[in-house]
Amino acid sequence: MQELSRSLTLSECLNQTFSCSCGRTHRADLKAAYIKKGALKELPEWLKRNQYEKVYLICDRITIGIAGKKVKELLTASGLEVYLHVISHQAYDEATLGELLIHERADCDVVVGVGTGSINDMCRYFSFKLQLPYCIVATAAPMDGFASSISALTVNNLKTTFEVQTPRLIVGDTDILRGAPYSMISAGLGDLIGKFTCLCDWKLSRLVNKEYYCETIVNMVSDGVRKVLLNAGNVKEKDPQVLGDIMEGLVFTGAAMSMIGNSRPASGCEHHISHYWEMIFEQRGQRPAPHGHQVGVGTILILRLTELLKMRTQIDFERARTAAEQYRFEQWCKEIQDAYGPAACGVIEMEQEAGKNETRARLKRIGKMEQNWDKILELLGELPSSKYVINLMRGLDAPCSPSQIGVDRQLLKNTLLYCKEVRNRYTILQMLWDLDLLEELTEQLLAEPDT
Ligand SMILES: [Zn+2]
Ligand SMILES: [Zn+2]
């Protein structure tokens, strides 16, 4: 077994088991990822090398034109048998799953999907149920779910997640990725930028809660993000190198989640913001902005809140303790019912189990924060400035304020105050709440002209 003690590239991690300096063993299940110009040409060879002969190729009406036809030609020309199905159903639900099953030839030995999020989720689920290996040819890279083992499908009209399988192979051909709409590219970048705040959350939790932490994985994820940001100015020209770096960073964070066994390396308070928005938009029957754009805006909001916190010369820990003593679960439940509507029940149940807001737990964290305040400031000091991220996103014509993605002021206020309750995970927002500063800083942020 190799030792994982330095920052490795994506290709060095794949299909490997590492003993790590964090004390755990990490395994990356993804077997191969070809992310470069002309990567598609590698697909037939890889399939043949792994002794697959009959391919069930799945596209939708859009991805068939972007890459599906070309994939079919390439595979057929290399002697593989290909059964192509173009999904006709619009939603990614039971009906689409049935459609895939009806058109599946029983003797196929591998599934290849062509597309991004929804197709990838559906094909991952379908192939898992049929116990077939799965590969994805990406037509865009708008989020980090490629290497994930979780599929989100609509079942009984409700978005539901399932633990399924990761793809064996991911193909990111920059000649194809270049054809993606510009908004999908900036969404991918938004999802990547969110890693700054998410990794900061993890570091804070290590300090305050002694949560398990893996420095090597953290460095690997942040190296990937920094690499992209170095050349982010070239995104606008759809520079193949930058597009490849974005895709690689996104695939890597997906792989990092599977190496850790949960989403800590890829999802923090900026994602809680996005989850909350998605839920509220769904309740309203509206379509939310792309995930990566929501995460980008969420990241900017969190950065701004931490900047307001850093402007305070002194933190009143006594005030925080008083607030902890005054916390009343019944009052909190009322607020959650207002902020979450029909979803409140699940949130309240989660808190009953986790008890993260309870006085004792909060007082313990306040003590830890008081002891380590200098270190906390140091961690917050490692974050990029909100201005830097705003300029970056603006330069890419990506949204950088809540109003640009349909979030009004009341929703924004509820988001900042209550989105931390969507998961039992310690984040910057939980820290601000612990300090009894979340409401005050939120009001301050709302009063800013750009918000
Ligand atoms: Zn994400
Ligand atoms: Zn580790």
Mean pLDDT per 10-residue run, the chain (451 residues)?
67 85 90 95 97 97 97 98 93 92 92 94 96 97 88 81 91 95 92 97 98 94 90 85 92 89 93 94 92 97 98 96 98 97 93 97 98 98 96 91 97 98 96 98 93 73
Of 325, 193, 337, nearest in space to 253 by CA: 193
- Angular region, 19: left φ>0, alpha ψ -120 to 50, beta rest: beta
Task: List, by residue range, all CATH 3.40.50.1970 domains of the chain.
Answer: 32-180
Of 229, 196, 222, nearest in space to 381 by CA: 196
CA of 145 to the centre of ligand 1 (A): 7
CA of 194 to the centre of ligand 1 (A): 8
The tokens of 48 are what? 């043949």
Quote the Cα angle for 67-69-74, to 5°. 90
In whole angstroms, what is the distance from residue 203 CA to residue 186 CA? 27
What residues does 384 pair with on adjacent strands? Answer: none
In whole angstroms, what is the distance from residue 215 CA to residue 281 CA? 36
CA of 374 to the centre of ligand 2 (A): 26
**Can you spell out the DSSP letters for 265-323?**
TT-SHHHHHHHHHHHHHHHHT-PPPPHHHHHHHHHHHHHHHHHHHHT-S---HHHHHHH
Residue 164 in contact with residue 343, Cβ under 8 Å? no
CA of 247 to the centre of ligand 2 (A): 23
Residue 76 in contact with residue 44, Cβ under 8 Å? no
In whole angstroms, what is the distance from residue 66 CA to residue 48 CA? 24
Sheet holding 134-138, edge to edge: 32-36, 169-173, 134-138, 110-115, 54-60, 81-87
* Beta carbons within 8 Å of 165's beta carbon, 6+ residues apart: 124, 127, 128, 134, 149
Task: List, by residue range, all CATH 1.20.1090 domains of the chain.
Answer: 269-446
Under DSSP, is residue 72 helix (H, G, I), strand (E, B) or coil? helix
* Beta carbons within 8 Å of 6's beta carbon, 6+ residues apart: 216
CA of 273 to the centre of ligand 1 (A): 11
Q: Which CATH number describes the domain made up of 269-446?
A: 1.20.1090
- Determine the pLDDT at residue 4: 63
CA of 87 to the centre of ligand 2 (A): 40
CA of 85 to the centre of ligand 2 (A): 41
- Residue where the block lists tokens 């790590």: 20
Residue 67 in contact with residue 176, Cβ under 8 Å? yes
Ligand with the closest atom to the CA of 190: 1
In whole angstroms, what is the distance from residue 332 CA to residue 313 CA? 30
Residue 142 in contact with residue 165, Cβ under 8 Å? no
Neighbour count for residue 213 (Cβ, 10 Å): 15
In whole angstroms, what is the distance from residue 21 CA to residue 8 CA? 14
- Determine the pLDDT at residue 1: 63
The alpha carbon of residue 240 and the mean position of all alpha carbons in its chain are separated, in whole angstroms, by 23
What residues does 93 pair with on adjacent strands? Answer: 154
Burial class (CB in 10 A: 0-12, 13-18, 19+), 378: exposed
CA of 229 to the centre of ligand 1 (A): 17
- Determine the pLDDT at residue 7: 64
Q: CA neighbours within 13 Å on the CB side: how many for 140?
A: 22
CA of 417 to the centre of ligand 1 (A): 21
State the pTM of this model.
Answer: 0.91
CA of 108 to the centre of ligand 1 (A): 32
Ligand with the closest atom to the CA of 26: 2
The tokens of 430 are what? 């939980």
The tokens of 137 are what? 């040819």
Domain 32-180 CATH class label: alpha beta
Burial class (CB in 10 A: 0-12, 13-18, 19+), 406: middle
Ligand with the closest atom to the CA of 150: 1
